[in-house]
Amino acid sequence: MSQMSFADAEYGIKRKQMRREIFLEMDRVVPWEEIQDLLEPVYPKAGNRRRPYELAAMLRIHFVQ
């Protein structure tokens, strides 16, 4: 591997954040466990019909929207 130039080093600092990286920052800000504990009693359970998505996954989907 060759040595990085100053331009390469500068560009590496200013790269655009990906959606996944922005979403992972949400883990530090949102208290997922507390919200999940509040919604768990009223969230649908698996029964005769189609199985619902996991509560944690649905919470994250709605927060991203």
With beta carbons less than 8 A apart as the criterion, state whether 59 and 36 touch.
Answer: yes
Q: Is residue 33 part of a domain?
A: yes
Number of domains within the chain: 1
The DSSP symbol for 40 reads T
Q: Is residue 49 part of a domain?
A: yes
Q: Is residue 4 part of a domain?
A: no
Q: What is the pLDDT of residue 63?
A: 83
Q: Which amino acid is at 18?
A: M
Q: What is the pLDDT of residue 60?
A: 85
- Local mean pLDDT, 10-residue blocks, the chain (65 residues): 74 70 75 92 85 88 82
Question: How far apart, in whole angstroms, are the C-alpha atoms of residue 40 and residue 4?
Answer: 51
Q: Is residue 28 part of a domain?
A: yes
Domain, as residue range, for 48: 17-64
Q: Is residue 9 part of a domain?
A: no
Question: How far apart, in whole angstroms, are the C-alpha atoms of residue 53 and residue 30?
Answer: 20
Q: What is the pLDDT of residue 23?
A: 66
